[in-house]
Amino acid sequence: MAVSHKGAISFGLVYIPVALYTATQDNDIHFNQLHKEDHSRIRYKKTCAHCGKEILSDDIIKGFEYDKDKYVIVTDDDFEKIKTEKDKTIQILHFADLDTISPIYYEKTYHTVPETGGEKAFELLRTAMKEENKVAIGKTVMGNKEALLAIIPTDDNILIDTMFFEDEIKEIPKSYAKPELNEGELSMAKTLIQSMVRPFEPSFYKDEYQERLRELIEQKIAGKEIVAAKKEETNNVIDLMDALKKSIEQNQGAAPEKKKRTSAKKSQTGA
């Protein structure tokens, strides 16, 4: 796996050389755009607006338009010159409680791996944050952009999440009038929530739509007719309290079946 970023975590006088690796991947099925008439690929060329010639990547430089059709050119060397020593490290600004960070600020997650010589300091930081139940807030420059970071300890590693700055977060487009809640309905809603509580198990969740999409592609390749999915029966419950009651009853009815499957699984494994 290619390294996305190399640097060092620094807090106080502690300096930990680390490498960052992307922690997620895109498993979605992707489609090519084709010409409707002959199914040929649609291709995109980078061309010069002045001479119309196709341009290669090596011939492209960065320019900032400071006035109409007037640009100042900025090179990779220019970007490096304005970086300070702090920009070249992941500087921990302070520590915080994870639940004080709104999920809207998270952008992209990286695995963090200590470089040779930094293992002990890395493990010391991970263990201390984990036992104190704290995360670190830090900053660094990645590429040509300063990144705000959440440094989060896990049971066996440290995750680093890039975060949006406050001025990058859009305001809620419109508010809504919050009606007064009926105590009975609120109590019933809490009961429903409690009846649906279970641990988060990553292996339990699958992208079912992508699975159906793969089946559709296989059927189309085989020349089979695509059959539309069966429509699910809609529940025409209008009263909120009635809907809550029926939901709880439905969930309680499914519980014994789940328990039965668990018992059967244990008997198969000899537990």
Segment 2-27 mean pLDDT: 87
* pLDDT band at residue 256 using 50, 70 and 90 as cut-offs: very low
Could you tell me which of 44, 37, 141 has the C-alpha nearest to residue 84?
Answer: 141
The answer to the question of residue 35 being in a domain is no
Model pLDDT, residue 260 = 44
pLDDT of 132 higher than 70: yes
Q: Are residues 192 and 126 in the same domain?
A: no
Q: How many separate domains does the chain show?
A: 2
Q: Are residues 89 and 151 in the same domain?
A: yes
What are φ and ψ of residue 38, in 5° steps? -125, 5
The answer to the question of residue 148 being in a domain is yes
Q: Are residues 189 and 136 in the same domain?
A: no
26 C-beta neighbours (distance < 10 Å), count:
5
Could you tell me which of 48, 78, 73 has the C-alpha nearest to residue 61?
Answer: 73
pLDDT of 259 higher than 50: no
Between 95 and 249, the higher pLDDT residue = 95
Per-residue pLDDT tens for 210-228?
888 888 888 888 888 877 7
Q: Are residues 105 and 193 in the same domain?
A: no
The answer to the question of residue 76 being in a domain is no
pLDDT of 165 higher than 70: yes
In this structure, are residues 247 and 254 in contact, taking their beta carbons and an 8 Å threshold?
A: no
The owner of tokens 């010159």 is: 81
Between 76 and 20, the higher pLDDT residue = 20
In 145-245, which ranges are E strands? 145-153, 158-163
The answer to the question of residue 85 being in a domain is yes
Six token digits for residue 86: 């702090």
Q: Are residues 120 and 188 in the same domain?
A: no
Q: Are residues 11 and 99 in the same domain?
A: yes
Model pLDDT, residue 234 = 64
pLDDT of 167 higher than 90: yes
The answer to the question of residue 243 being in a domain is yes
Model pLDDT, residue 156 = 93
The answer to the question of residue 37 being in a domain is no
Q: Classify residue 169 by its DSSP letter.
A: S
In this structure, are residues 82 and 131 in contact, taking their beta carbons and an 8 Å threshold?
A: no
Q: Are residues 13 and 97 in the same domain?
A: yes
Q: Are residues 156 and 106 in the same domain?
A: yes
Segment 108-112 mean pLDDT: 96
Domain boundaries, position 137: 5-24+81-166
In CATH, what number is assigned to the domain containing residue 100? 2.40.290.10
Six token digits for residue 260: 């039965």
Model pLDDT, residue 172 = 86
Between 246 and 168, the higher pLDDT residue = 168
Q: Are residues 252 and 155 in the same domain?
A: no
In this structure, are residues 139 and 146 in contact, taking their beta carbons and an 8 Å threshold?
A: yes
The owner of tokens 């196709």 is: 54
Q: Enumerate the β-bridge partners of residue 14.
A: 11
| Whole-number Cα distances in Å, 75 to 62, 65, 69 | 7, 15, 19
Ranking 122-136, 154-168, 185-199, 217-231 by mean pLDDT, the lowest is 217-231
Q: Are residues 18 and 126 in the same domain?
A: yes
Per-residue pLDDT tens for 28-56?
888 888 888 888 888 888 888 888 888 88
* pLDDT band at residue 232 using 50, 70 and 90 as cut-offs: low
